Structures are given as structure tokens and as C-alpha cells.
Structure 1
Amino acid sequence: MDAERIAIARRCLDAAHAGGRSFPEIVGELIAAGFEAYSVDYRRNTQTYYLPDGDSLVLDMPQSAGGVASAFDASAVGSLVRWAQANGPDYSYKAFCERVKAAGCAGYVVSFLGRRVVYLGRTAETHVELFP
């Protein structure tokens, strides 16, 4: 992967964790750079960015408190997504990560092509959210 795309992915990852940019802004920049998807793995604490040609980039995420709960609570994950979408003054991506892991989310895949996010539990339960 070229240095410019690596820098864009790193900048977007850092901005999400620092609270500097919204999900739609980050998605827009990643799409403009040619990415088609990314995935978050809370068990490995990594984020992987995918290009259409099969190339990918794995970056370490900042640590967040707590582990992934054994039971997946799709309703709680959905509520946390609504909280994130509202982007209120009490929202932070760090808190989202901690809370969604407590709800049993082991990670998620953001598909720009499919315009959806698939949240995954440890036993492969899913919760799907569409985005415009």
C-alpha cells in the first residue's frame, strides 16, 4: 500500500479515537482515498483497511478498557449505534468501544460498497446497520 493511503488510514483512525471527526467525515475520506471497507477487531485491538485490489493495511488501535463480553446483546449494540449517531456531548468513540465490547461485540465490518456496518459477537451473532 502506498504511503499516502497509509497516512490517510492512520489519520482517520487517530481522529476517530481523539474525537476530532465524525463517522461520515471519516468514511468520506476513506472512500475518496479508494478504500472499499475496514474492519475493527476488539480481540486483537486492530483495525484493517481494504482496497479493491486485495491489498490491506492493519493498524493497532489505542487500548480501550474492558474485554469482549461472552454474550452478544444486539439490542444494546443497536442502542449504542443510535447514541453514536446522535453525536451528543456525552459521546466519544472511546466510550463507544468500551460499551459495545461490554455488549458482546467482538468487532465490526464497515462496507462502503454495501453501505452497512455488520457488528459481530464472539459466536458470530450479528447486528446490521445501514448507512446512507
Structure 2
Amino acid sequence: MIDQNTKTVIEACAQKSHDGLITFPEVLGQLVGVGVQSYFVDYRLAFTTYYLNSNEAYQIPTEMPTLPVRSPFKKEEMISAIRRAQGDQVRYPEFLRLTMLAGCVGYMVWITGKHVTYFGAQGETHIEHFPGQ
């Protein structure tokens, strides 16, 4: 059973991200602190599922921009959005918009594996290793 503190930290990270108040490294630090091993952001269903070290999962609704995900997957635009986020030139709300416009339908953050896999609607992928990895 996932304890209330873990749920509270996950929900607070998600809200702060969507408000543009926290960076990706800050999110990772807080999630690791409560035992999150990975998480999946599904743009089409507007949910994020967090997977814990205990083999439990916790799913919450995710605010998404009100624009359609475009196809095909535009890898160069994805990489540009990622670099802008890494450089703190954009925060999460704008990152979501940019990646959706690039044809992304969701992504999986592998915290323990230190990379993110981004997905296109036709099975395309882009793997982005954490900076310094």
C-alpha cells in the first residue's frame, strides 16, 4: 500500500511541474526520495503513472495542452525541446506543448536507468540520456 506521504510528494511534484515552478532535476530528486523508480506520461490519456521500488504503481491525471498531437514524429524538434528544457529556457508547460507539436504521444522516465524514452504515434522513439550520463 502506497503511503500518503509518497502520494503527497508525487502530486506536489506534478503540480509544481505543471505550474512551471520546478525543474526536471528537482523533480527527480524528490521522486527518488519517496522510492519512485520510473514514470510514464501518456499525452493521449492525460495520465501519469509512477512506478515505485515496491512494485506498486500510482496514477494521477495530468494536465495537457489543448492541442492535438501531430504526426509524424519530428526527432529534431523533440531534441530542440529537450535541450531548451535542459537549459531551463522552457519549463514543463511549454515543454509539453513543444513535444506534442513534434509528434510525441508520451514518454517514459527511467530514473534508475538514467534516461527518457519519447514515443511517437507510429512507434517512433527517441532515447535521451540524462545529462552527464
> How many residue pairs align between the two structures?
130
Whether 1:84 aligns to 2:82 is: no
The structural deviation recorded for 1:99 is 1.4
Aligned to 1:97: 96
**Is residue 2:115 matched to residue 1:112?**
no
The residue that corresponds to 1:125 in the other structure is 124
Q: Which residue of 2 aligns with 1:66?
A: 67
The answer for the alignment partner of 1:43 in structure 2 is 44
Percent identical among aligned pairs is 33
What amino acid sits opposite 2:28 in the alignment? V
Match of 2:32 in 1: 31
The one-letter amino acid of 1:48's match is T
Q: Structure 1: which 5+ residue stretches go unaligned? A: none
Distance in 2 between the 1:38 and 1:20 partners?
Answer: 19
Q: Which moved more, 1:67-76 or 1:113-122?
A: 67-76
**Aligned partners of 1:76 and 1:63: how far apart in 2?**
19
1:15 equivalent to 2:12? Answer no
For the aligned residue pairs, the C-alpha RMSD in angstroms reads 1.0
What per-residue deviation string (whole Å, max 9, x for no partner) do you get for residues 14-63 of structure 1?
01011111110110010011110111000001111001232101111123
Letter in 1 for 2:126: H
Moved over 4 A (4+): none
TM-score (norm 1): 0.94
Mark the runs of 5 or more structure 2 residues left unpaired by the alignment: none
Q: CA deviation at 1:65?
A: 2.3
Separation in 1 of the partners of 2:8 and 2:18? Answer: 15
3-state SS of paired residue (2:5):
helix
CA distance in 2: counterparts of 1:52 and 1:67, whole angstroms: 34
